[in-house]
């Protein structure tokens, strides 16, 4: 066992592990609780975050260049370039609702956000999900233990203001000789997402397929979703209700097959030689608590958000904003 993984086992503490049947009801119960309950949850979350030991992911790299802070680049008189000039996250205003859908790569997640979400909440979702991925990476092998990894991912999110219901994986089989992951993905997400959300996910995948092979966003997703003949990834859709309730529809997939896979989202798999599993559920964020722990999450991530999160081209020319 590695030193980092041993440290994670010793330092990561969990509380309140009761299964949640309905996350929206649970959120309403939390909001109705007295201030002492809220203070207790904030304190426990801060203690949890403070005790985390994240794996060392090495230097920040992108195809053909090394990422360094802008101030360092200026000090060393280095030329600076924009990683992705069409990164939709660059145009988000934190204190205002978005006027168009947004899509981003977040480690092994393709995340889509319908329009009308407060800008700050988009980054809250991306940051907290990245934190959960990194902690889960230190606890479980993402490819060989995908179910355990995803469950641990959910347990981490529970500690940082998310309400996470119990969920189970199910198998997916195709009667054809080969099947595309995009077709299997569509079948799974159609069981939980609205038509508008499905359109956004499809649009995000099409955008990724149209990116150059060395695009940093493709590299992020490839390196965090697939290793040789096994993979573990998510496709999420996030919305915000009129009363500010942020919900994440999670669709998680894992597979093992007989051939090495590169671009999993549009790969064609052998039906006989592939084991494919998926789960789908809805997480809800307690924004009242997350507002109090946001700085702790950001501090724990440090510069990792720059390495693992990148916005896809915007949807401004797409029709419709997705149903909430």
Domain locations in the chain as residue ranges: 3-55+85-311
Paired residues of 278 in beta bridges: 170, 253
The answer to whether 231 and 264 have CB atoms below 8 angstroms apart is yes
The pLDDT value recorded for residue 250 is 98
The pLDDT value recorded for residue 13 is 41
0.85 surpassed by pTM: no
Residues in contact with 308: Cβ distance below 8 Å, sequence separation at least 6, in sequence order: 106, 107, 130, 133, 220, 224
Token pair recorded at residue 175: 């009667």
| Mean per-residue pLDDT, 91-105 | 95
Residues in contact with 205: Cβ distance below 8 Å, sequence separation at least 6, in sequence order: 110, 182, 185, 265, 266
| Mean per-residue pLDDT, 224-253 | 95
Lowest mean pLDDT among 126-130, 143-147, 207-211, 313-317: 313-317
Token pair recorded at residue 100: 């168009």
Cα of first residue to Cα of last residue in the chain, in angstroms, is: 44
Report which of 96, 152, 113 is spatially closest to residue 246, judged by C-alpha positions.
113
Residue 185: pLDDT over 70: yes
pLDDT in tens, 7-61: 333 334 433 344 555 666 665 666 555 678 889 999 999 999 999 989 876 443 3
Which stretches of the chain are DSSP H helices? 3-11, 23-32, 35-50, 70-75, 119-139, 146-159, 181-189, 195-209, 216-225, 287-301, 304-308
From residue 9, give the alpha-carbon distance in Å to each of 20, 139, 162, 178. 24, 7, 21, 40
pLDDT in tens, 248-291: 999 999 999 999 998 999 999 999 999 999 999 999 999 999 99
| Mean per-residue pLDDT, 106-116 | 97
The pLDDT value recorded for residue 33 is 59
Report which of 180, 198, 181 is spatially closest to residue 189, judged by C-alpha positions.
198
Lowest mean pLDDT among 1-15, 51-65, 130-144, 306-320: 1-15
Report which of 114, 86, 115, 112 is spatially closest to residue 98, judged by C-alpha positions.
115
Q: For residue 260, which phi and psi values (nearest 5 degrees)?
A: -70, 135
Letter string b/e over residues 79-110, b meaning 16 or more CB atoms within 10 A of that residue's CB: eeeeebeebbbeebeeeeebebbbbbbbbbbb
Mean pLDDT of the chain: 84
Token pair recorded at residue 202: 């499809």
For the chain, percent of residues with pLDDT exceeding 70: 77
3 state SS of 78:
coil
**Residue of higher predicted confidence among 121 and 56:** 121
């Amino acid at each position: 066992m590695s030193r980092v993984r041993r440290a994670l086992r010793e330092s990561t503490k969990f509380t309140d592990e009761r299964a949640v049947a309905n996350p929206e009801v649970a959120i309403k119960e939390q909001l109705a609780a007295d201030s002492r309950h809220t203070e207790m949850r904030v304190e426990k979350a801060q203690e949890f975050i403070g005790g985390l030991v994240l794996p060392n992911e090495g230097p920040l790299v992108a195809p053909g260049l090394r990422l360094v802070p802008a101030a360092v680049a200026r000090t060393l008189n280095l030329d600076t370039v924009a990683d992705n000039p069409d990164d939709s996250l660059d145009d988000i205003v934190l204190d205002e609702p978005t006027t168009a859908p947004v899509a981003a790569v977040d480690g092994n997640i393709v995340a889509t956000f319908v329009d009308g979400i407060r800008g700050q909440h988009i980054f809250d979702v991306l940051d907290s999900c990245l934190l959960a991925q990194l902690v889960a990476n230190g606890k479980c092998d993402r490819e060989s233990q995908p179910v355990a990894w995803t469950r641990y991912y959910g347990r981490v999110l529970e500690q940082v203001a998310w309400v996470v219901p119990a969920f189970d994986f199910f198998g997916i089989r195709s009667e054809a000789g080969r099947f595309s992951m995009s077709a299997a993905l569509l079948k799974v997400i159609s069981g939980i997402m609205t038509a508008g959300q499905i359109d956004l996910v499809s649009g995000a995948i099409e955008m990724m397929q149209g990116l150059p092979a060395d695009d940093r966003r493709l590299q992020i997703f490839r390196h965090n979703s697939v290793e040789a003949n096994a993979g573990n990834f998510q496709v999420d859709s996030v919305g915000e209700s009129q009363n500010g309730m942020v919900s994440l529809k999670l669709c998680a997939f894992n597979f093992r097959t007989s051939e090495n896979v590169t671009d999993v989202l549009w790969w064609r798999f052998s039906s006989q030689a592939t084991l494919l599993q998926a789960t789908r559920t809805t997480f809800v964020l307690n924004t009242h608590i997350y507002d109090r722990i946001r700085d702790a999450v950001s501090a724990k991530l440090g510069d990792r958000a720059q390495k693992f999160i990148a916005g896809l081209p915007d949807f401004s020319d797409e029709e419709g904003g997705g149903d909430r």
